[in-house]
Structure 1
Amino acid sequence: MQKGPSYIVHEEIGLGVTLSYHRQLSHRSFKLPKWLEYFFAYCGVLSVQGSPIEWASTHRNHHQFTDTWDDPHSPIKGLWFSHIGWLFDYRSRFGSYEGRLKNVDDLKRQKFYRFLHVTYPLHSIAFGVLLYALGGMPFLTWGLGVRAALFAHATFALNSICHRWGKKVWDTGDMSRNNWVFGLLTHGEGWHNNHHAFQYSARHGFEWWEVDVTWYVIRFLEIVGLATDVKLPSETQKKRKALSNKLNEEKLETQVNNTNLETEAKNE
């Protein structure tokens, strides 16, 4: 594929997941005009990660039951399960965990999202046919197959790697971590501990060095008047969260010290 057009398509489809599926549809972190909202959502469909309704439902359940047995892709069930194994688990993926598709009424009320949900596979097939018509097997292989696999594993890594390895800045009561590698690879989604601390935030990279391409796009759309009601944590909220971190650390340190004293007393 020509580098310029293929790069644009690659970025648009990536933003379809990070900007649309995740930050707007799952967390309602900002609003867009319907024509632009639907455009980015359709880009998400071409990522081959599920319909907007299914993706948002799974993600909302993840945040409701983070890192517990009811989390659809819980890391406590193992690295393989949280990365990709959950896709093949009937309870997690296909139908029986509590609340499945019952937590996305805001999306199900819209005809566009209902249409994408019932016709989801057809859009990727049509996109594949278009790629083949434009450039044969190389276009189809790289434009759909390889790209979809790379996007999928980048997203899966947020569920697995970013709940195991990285820096924990905020005490969120779960295993989420900030991972700078995936912060770069996933348009800012890798600042995962930040995200779990302030789930509603349209911005995940809070520091200047926490590169967050998705946020830069949202901010640009806000500047030109297309993105509205952009939600961000205030400095007061971040300070309050930081204070909570410190208090919890002091409480844990006290508990450890008391345990050590009790152990020493028993050994005397």
Structure 2
Amino acid sequence: MAFIDHVLQVPSYGWTDHNGRLVRPVKGQILSEFLRRINIFKDFRNWLPLMSWLKVLCTVPFLALFVFKYFSLPLLVVAFLYSMIIMGTHGTIWHHRYCTHGAYKFKNRFWRFITQNLTISMIPEEIYVISHHVHHAKADQPGDPYNAQAGFLYCFLADVNHQPIAKNLCESDYNRVRTMMKHTGVSANTYVQYLQWGSYVHPFRAVLAWALNWSFWFLVFYLLGGPGLVACMFGAAGFWAVGVRTFNYEGHGKGKNMQVEGTDFNRNDNSINQIWPGIVAGEWHNNHHLYPKSARSGFKPYQVDLAWYYIKFLYRIGAVTSYHDSKEDFLKHHHAPFMQNR
């Protein structure tokens, strides 16, 4: 089997049936798999997907405090801007364009660290990066960890059910995982440690990074606006972390071909360009699938790309040394021919 076929932990219901067709598990199967995969008492190697959702649960008290004690219209605007725009754009900048696709390069570790911690940490890099490579290799095909054709819940709980790396990789395959993650700056387990913990990152380092990131932002927000702002921002971060888990279902047409001629030029899968994710997070998803290694995905004049503006700004000040920009290629080979044939 090819590396991309077995690098992720296969769910109990499998990717395909005996005829090679996509398995569409029922809700009970998906929920049962979710509970099994976060059960650290059965297998402590389930610690990383559990931590991913534990972060979300830890933001619930903050959200409750914001809604029931500190709520105000100005803070609601702040929460909206932080969750919808800042958190969303950071996810595109860091997890998507840098960690997964290496669309640009930092000058040094300092700027990489700053960019990594621009917001409240919610998503483990390891869960996102490896599975997203599989997603691009198998988009809307069996084995795609968030295949929209299998339904909303299949995508929504994918970070637990489908995205963690397999726990039984051979040493050479684990070294390939390390190569895919090396540029992110996240320290790797040795192969022996990987077999023990079932993950690329060590639990101690992951929890320490979480604690330091949250402590820093807690202090910053407290100094800027007291407990009300702290509750607002951490509650907003949790809201985003839940919402972002719905994106790939929506971004791939809810499992249907919803592409629009002249807007969605990549026809190899069901990815679509959506106005809202594009404007608030630079996530022009069909453009991204057409040019996954491009640091810019907003190619047309109306396609606002806040993530690209940040990357370009860092380049201007010398913090980013190089980047890929596929706009000219898109205009030449896709947009211009379409306009000529109208």
Q: Tell me whether the two structures share a fold, i.e. TM-score over 0.5.
A: yes
Number of equivalences: 239
Give 2:158's aligned residue.
86
Offset of residue 162 of structure 1: 1.2
In structure 1, stretches of 5+ residues that fail to align are 250-268
**Quick one: distance in 2 between partners of 1:65 and 1:182?**
22
Name the CA shift for 1:62/1:70 in 2 (closer, same or farther; >3 Å): same
How far does the alpha carbon of each residue in 1:205-238 deviate from its partner, in whole angstroms, 9 at most, with x for none? Answer: 0012101111111112222222222101263464
Unmatched tracts of structure 2, length 5 or more: 1-69, 189-199
What TM-score, normalized by structure 1, do the two folds share?
0.72
Mapped partners of 2:214, 2:182: distance in 1: 29
Give, in angstroms, the shift of residue 123 of structure 1: 3.6
Q: 1:158 aligns with which of 233, 247, 250?
A: 247
Partner of 1:124: 210
The equivalent of 2:143 in structure 1 is 70
What is the correspondence of 1:27-66 to structure 2 with a 5 Å cutoff? Answer: 27-33=101-107, 34-43=109-118, 46-50=120-124, 52-66=125-139
Deviations 1:162-190 (A, max 9, x none): 1105645213310100000111232x11x
Tell me which residue corresponds to 2:300.
Answer: 207
Q: Deviations over 1:117-153 (max 9, x none)?
A: 3232444345555638937864554322332222441
Evaluate the alpha carbon distance shift between residue 62 and residue 101 of structure 1 in structure 2; reply closer, same or farther with a 3 A threshold.
Answer: farther
Pairs within 5 Å for 1:97-136: 104-106=177-179, 108-109=181-182, 112-114=185-187, 117-118=201-202, 119-128=205-214, 131=218, 134=222
Please say if residues 82 and 237 of structure 2, whose CA atoms lie closer than 8 Å, have aligned partners that are also in contact.
no
Percent identity between matched residues is 21
Residues 237, 215 of structure 1: alpha-carbon distance in 2 compared, 3 angstrom cutoff: closer
Structure 1 residues 54 and 42: alpha-carbon distance in aligned structure 2, compared to 1, 3 A threshold = farther
Q: Given the alignment, which residue of 181, 186, 189 partners 2:276?
A: 181
- Match 1:148 to one of 221, 238, 248: 238
C-alpha distance in structure 1 between counterparts of 2:159 and 2:259, whole Å: 24
1:219 to 312, 316, 320: 312
**Within the alignment, does 1:96 sit opposite 2:169 as a pair?**
no
Other-structure match for 2:322: 229
Whether the 8 Å contact between 1:69 and 1:77 is mirrored in structure 2 is: no
Map of 2:95 onto structure 1: 21
Aligned-pair CA distance for 1:94: 3.5
Structure 1, 59-68 or 226-235: larger mean CA deviation = 226-235
Q: Any idea what the Cα deviations from partners look like across 1:83-140, whole Å, max 9, x if unmatched? A: x122342xx1334399897654335446941179323244434555563893786455
Amino acid at match of 2:127: E
Q: TM-score, normalised by structure 2?
A: 0.58
Q: CA RMSD in A?
A: 3.9
User: What secondary structure does 1:228 align onto?
Assistant: strand
Q: Which moved more, 1:117-126 or 1:207-216?
A: 117-126
Equivalent residue number for residue 261 of structure 1: none
In structure 2, the CA distance between the partners of 1:240 and 1:122, relative to structure 1 (3 Å rule), is: same
1:57–1:103 contact (8 Å) kept in structure 2: no
Instruction: Call closer, same or farther: CA 1:197–1:112 in 2, change over 3 Å.
Output: closer
Q: Distance in 2 between matches of 1:138 and 1:166?
A: 43
Equivalent AA in structure 1 for residue 111 of structure 2: L
Which amino acid in 2 is paired with 1:159? N
User: Which residue of the other structure, out of 278, 281, 286, is the alignment partner of 1:193?
Assistant: 286
2:79·2:232 contact (CA, 8 Å) conserved in 1? no
Q: In structure 2, the residue corresponding to 1:216 is in which secondary structure?
A: helix
SS of alignment partner, residue 72 of structure 1: coil
- Compare the two structures and name the one with the higher helix fraction: 1
Partner of 2:40: none
